[in-house]
Structure 1
Amino acid sequence: MRDTFAGWYGKDSVQIERIWNEGLFIPDTNVLLHCLRHPAKVRDRLLGVFEALSGSLWLPYQVGLEFHKNRLGVEYGAIDAYESLIRDQESIVEKSRDRFRQLRAHPTIDVDRELSALEMYISDFRGRMEAARDSHPKEEISKAVDRLTKVFEGKVGLRLSSEKLIAIKKEGEDRYAKKIPPGYKDEKKDCTGYDRFGDLIIWREIICKAKAENRSVVFITDDAKEDWWWIHRGRKIGPRPELIEEFKLEVGQDFHMYEFGQFLRFAAEHFPVINSNFDLVTKSLLADEQARLHQNASSNLFFHDQITILEDERDQLIGMISGTPGYMNSTTADLAVLRSRLDELNKQISSLKSMSTHSSGDVSG
């Protein structure tokens, strides 16, 4: 029965060792971007992993394309963070100043002393951020990009023809409707061209390469969505069984997946060079994941608040249009304006809900 339902069984140590010895190692876009996000020692170790695996590495064209589309956003996002943090802290301090100014006659609080302390804090914070900005490692990150480029030289898939992309888009529309992985969580993604089908394009490229070389594949991704992972009660069991079975059917080989942090633990056993500063690397990766989860939670709260405000206005408009007791009566002219506003609100609410769904599903970056 194991052979019939291969995707529903875990791989034993012999299978795993064979994959590591014979398989292709394929990183996702989010994994490549890690090489630009972290401190120098961490960047060096992450790049060292790829260099150690150089003989077994391969990159789908779609992954390379997404990396180049997103890398400047990662780089400049880090640079913009200095000014953004300064503005955030200045806003908080200004609110505190206003609150203290309202307490000029307080019997025990030394308002002038507290205002002075706030001024010292914001001045010191601004100085630290400006110093950090001035020492931002632009050249080092540029060298990391060059190093990454060199590692994958000659190891990138060919760009798919328009005919193949059209065929994948058509296939994707059918698969997404049936919730067949991967990629269906991007169905409502607000994007143009073939971006909505990026994961499926990557999947098709992986299968084509593996079939051509008759090799198993290890896909390394920090995409946490359920259209890649078999998730049970919040715990990732492994790749979606459907992916393993589809790969086995088309290629006749094994397909396996790791999150990057998990992959590094196994890689450290095979490549001694990775063991150095391993704890530092995993700590940095964990901090990055927690930061993205926190950002995602904050985004969801923003979407929830905005949707609630718009839905409240929508309910009021519906009451006015329908003449519900307790609402203002409207003239014919008013009704036309109200209906127009109602249509606009429905579109805004629908758009925000779609954005919220995508934000909650895509926390890997």
Structure 2
Amino acid sequence: MREVFSEWYYPDDEVIAHIVTEGTIALDANALLDLYRVGAGRRQEILTALEKIGDRLFVPYQAAYEYQKNRTSALHDAQNTFDRVAEDLQKAAEDTLDTALKPIRDQAVRNEIREAFTGSFEAFKSKYAELRANHILDLKEARTNDPVRDELDRIASGPRLGKKPSAQSLQERREEAQKRIDEGRPPGNADAKNKADATGDYLVWAELLEHAKNANRPILFVTNDSKKGDWFSTVHGRIMGPLPELVAEMAGASPGHSYHQVMLDSLLWLTNKYINTKVSEDTIRTLRELKEITALRSAKQLTARQAALVAKLIAEASSSNDNNLRKLEKRLIAHAMEGITISSDEDEPRDVEIAMRFAQEEA
């Protein structure tokens, strides 16, 4: 059956190794935009790994266009998320502290606890500002001086960047994209209900098909677009591989060559294994967790168990014991930040991650 239904057979380790070491590795815009969502050290690891791919790296013109179009939004989102964390943490801490202090009748003790907590929180905010300066690109400055884009300009240039299609070719591709959307054919058909112009995915796909015809080698497409169902085949939420119909279509464009898809974290795991890149496990894990991060938990989202824990610690701290006050601070910060990933260079203090681990270990 394999000769007839080859698109239903997922590549084994030997085929994957061949694709990674010999094939074109094409990047979608969302993979490039992830560079703004990690810290400086992790960002450099990723860029170094991409550079090591060399001339086998390929960024479709449409993917590069979508990167440029969404770059400032990605910068803003990363900066805004980081900026909101300290504010939301302080609000969550103060609201919970106010509630938990009510049972303590001695006003002097209450004031002492509040002053001690406020002082320690100010130290945290100072360190947090330092982390922001070191790892988050400022939108105002990066609007014209973006070190990520500078690196991508260098890495994805010449034959590594797809050519801009002519007006006629672009129109033909858009018409084909709309036809496929109307017929429910991937990729891009899942965007029809959410986007006014849902042709972008097919425009990328058309370039990949064209590239495959000329490159005469396998293709690995790196996209984080895994949730819509028009790129990846999934079973009970688990990604199995590219949709069989995409594999079949690519086989028609490039007979005898394999096609596969992975997300950015998986690409870096594979390049570590097969071409000796040096991306840390922490960086790969951070990219994987990015897919699950939604938003910072606010004070209203603190669970009853968390509030009870804070109240218990404040009661223990009523003796003005500094150790208990520090424990209270770390636990409150950790619980308020549950669900947020903040990365930093391996050689720098990781106060927030330490606090989160502290909470998990002590709970």
For normalisation by structure 1, the TM-score amounts to 0.70
Q: Secondary structure at the match of 1:231?
A: strand
> Which of 253, 272, 277 is matched with 1:250 structurally?
253
Distance 1:50 1:87, change over 3 A: same
Deviation at 1:184, TM superposition (A): 1.5
Deviates more, 1:30-39 or 1:47-56: 30-39
**1:265 aligned to 246, 258, 269, which one?**
269
What SS does the aligned partner of 1:290 have? coil
> Which amino acid in structure 2 is aligned with residue 179 of structure 1?
G
1:227 Cα deviation after fit: 0.7
Q: How does 1:220-231 map to 2 (within 5 A)?
A: 220-225=222-227, 226-231=229-234
Q: Would the aligned equivalents of 1:29 and 1:66 in 2 still touch at CA under 8 Å? A: yes
Whether contact under 8 Å (1:25, 1:220) holds in the other structure is yes
Q: Distance in 2 between matches of 1:58 and 1:277?
A: 20
Q: Distance in 1 between matches of 2:296 and 2:165?
A: 33
Moved more, 138-147 or 255-264: 138-147
Q: 1:23 to 1:120 in 2, by over 3 A?
A: same
Aligned counterparts, 1:198-347, within 5 A: 198-225=200-227, 226-252=229-255, 253-272=257-276, 274=277, 276-291=278-293, 294-295=294-295
**1:64 positional shift:** 0.5
For residues 271 and 255 of structure 1, the distance between their equivalents in structure 2, rounded to whole angstroms, comes to 19
Per-residue deviation, 1:219: 0.4
Q: Whole-Å Cα distance in 2 between the matches of residues 296 and 131 of structure 1?
A: 20
> Counterparts of 1:9 and 1:80 in 2: how far apart (Å)?
43
- Which runs of no fewer than 5 residues in structure 2 stay unpaired? 302-363
Is 2:221–2:261's contact at 8 Å kept on the other side of the alignment?
yes
Q: Which moved more, 1:54-63 or 1:19-28?
A: 19-28
Query: 1:50, 1:105 → 2: CA distance?
Result: 57
For residues 116-155 of structure 1, the aligned pairs below 5 Å read 116-136=115-135, 138=137, 142-154=146-158, 155=160
The CA distance in 2 between the partners of 1:45 and 1:135, in whole Å, is 16
Deviates more, 1:282-291 or 1:226-235: 282-291
The offset of 1:205, in angstroms, is: 0.7
What SS is found at the alignment partner of 2:253?
helix
2:110 is aligned to 111
Letter in 1 for 2:247: I
Residue ranges of structure 1 left out of the alignment (5+ in a row): 302-365
- Does the C-alpha gap of structure 1 residues 50 and 44 become closer, same or farther in structure 2, counting only changes over 3 Å? same
Q: Max radius of gyration: which structure?
A: 1
| 1:32 alignment counterpart | 32
Q: What CA RMSD, in Å, does the superposition of the two structures yield over aligned residues?
A: 3.1
Output the CA distance in 2 between the equivalents of 1:126 and 1:120: 10
Match of 1:177 in 2: 182
- Partner deviation per Cα, 1:251-309 (whole Å, 9 max, x = no partner): 3232111222222222122222x1x3532322322332332xx34999xx9xxxxxxxx
Call closer, same or farther: CA 1:89–1:270 in 2, change over 3 Å.
closer
Conserved in 2, the CA contact under 8 Å of 1:62 and 1:201?
yes
| 1:84-103 to 2 correspondences below 5 Å | 84-96=84-96, 99=99, 103=102
Q: Which amino acid aligns with 2:122?
A: S
Take 1:18 and 1:249, find their aligned partners in 2: how far apart are those partners? 20
Q: Structure 1 counterpart of 2:235, which letter? A: H
1:92 Cα deviation after fit: 2.5
Letter in 1 for 2:168: E
Query: 1-side partners of 2:27 and 2:242: how far apart?
Result: 15
Distance 1:12 1:111, change over 3 A: closer
Instruction: Give yes or no for contact 1:82–1:130 (8 Å, CA) kept in 2.
Output: no
Length, aligned pairs only = 291
Residue 352 (structure 2) aligns with: none
Q: How far 1:137 moved relative to its partner?
A: 5.8
Per-residue CA deviations over 1:81-103 (Å, capped at 9, x if unaligned) read 343223323432453465468x3
3-state SS of 1:286 partner:
helix
1:23 matched to 2:23: yes
Query: What is the distance in 2 between the residues matched to 1:296 and 1:120?
Result: 23
Partners of 1:109 and 1:231 lie apart in 2 by 60
Task: Look up the equivalent residue of 2:201 and give its one-letter code.
Answer: D
Q: Counterparts of 1:187 and 1:166 in 2: how far apart (Å)? A: 18
Q: Which has the higher helix share?
A: 1
Q: Which residue of 1 aligns with 2:78?
A: 78
Shift of 1:208: 1.0
- 1:245 CA drift (Å): 0.4
